[in-house]
Structure 1
Amino acid sequence: MLISYQIFFGISNSFSAKIWSILKGIKLARAKGFQQLWIESDSSVVVSFFHHRLIPWFALQVWNHILSYLNAIVWKISHCYREANPVADFLAKETAKTGTSFDDVSLSLRIRHELAIDEAGRTCFRFLR
């Protein structure tokens, strides 16, 4: 993980929040000069929308603005299960609690711990009560 960010959307639905989050990540990658980008989302619907270039009307202006960047780099978007991305879950929960947005979140002890688990290839489980 090279950068992390959190965006407070206020009252919103998860679909539009995930669309805006991906677009924000692409804009940050462009600002950092990344030439390769791999986007993962736990929403298979959102991933499908991006694969088929079915960008929702509310995000079209931003999409059109970053499309030339995406056409100039190597990038892909793929689905991952929620268990595979505990850092995104943690940042989303923190943002909902605090109501704040940050473009460059420092890697807290919790985030570094989750990244170490992922790097070690340990299996993560989610148990429902």
Structure 2
Amino acid sequence: MNVDGAASSSDKRVGAGGVLRGSNGVWRGGFVSNVGYCSAILAELWGIFHGLSLAWNLGSRTLLLETDSRLAIELIEKRVDPLHPLATILTAIRRRLAQDWMVRLVHTYREGNRVADWLSKHSLVYPYGKYELTTPPPRDSPSPP
């Protein structure tokens, strides 16, 4: 699973996207999520949450989840005060991680996260909300503003 968050420089909207591939690299599913307006780190965390949810729902029980946000991984791995502004999404992610499966969160560089990066940017052409993708969007899909 590769996930990413993106922000529009023109209107400050943010989104997230991700792709789940089998061990052979073949597409198993994906998602785009137009998050609306929030911080870039919150978009990254939404990407992780939605990626975990998609992988679980598609039956994955061993998962390598890659993100290019080292900060997101650090926030998930450390305990934060319940009054921290990101505490709610961090708690939701930790609950997903505590399910009966094996998940490794790994930092990857942007070059290794190109599909998730494209999907996160592509999420900005969708209305607000999360959309699961059973097939990859066509290459000629509209680009984000």
Distance 2:90 2:108 in 1: 24
Q: Where do 5+ consecutive residues of structure 1 fail to align?
A: 111-129
Kindly report which structure 2 residues correspond to 1:1-129, keeping only aligned pairs within 5 A, or say none.
1=21, 2-52=28-78, 54=80, 56-63=86-93, 65-69=95-99, 72-99=100-127, 101-110=130-139
With a CA cutoff of 8 Å and minimum separation of 6, indicate the structure with the bigger relative contact order. 1
Distance 2:112 2:97 in 1: 28
Amino acid in the other structure paired with 1:7: S
Over aligned residues, Cα RMSD in angstroms?
Answer: 2.4
CA distance 1:25–1:85, change in 2 (3 Å): same
Query: Higher strand fraction: Structure 1 or Structure 2?
Result: 2
How far, CA to CA, are the matches of 1:4 and 1:53 in structure 2? 29
The size of the alignment, in residue pairs, is 109
Q: Rg larger in 1 or in 2?
A: 1
Q: 1:108, CA displacement in angstroms?
A: 3.4
Offset at residue 78 of structure 1 (A): 0.7
Check 1:3–1:76 CA distance in 2 against 1; reply closer, same or farther (3 A cut).
same
Calculate the TM-score normalised by the size of structure 2. Answer: 0.64
Unaligned 5+ residue runs, structure 2? 1-20, 22-27, 140-145
Identical pairs, percent:
24
Return the alpha-carbon distance in structure 2 between the equivalents of residues 49 and 61 of structure 1.
11
| Residue 65 to residue 78, structure 1, CA distance change in 2 (3 Å) | closer
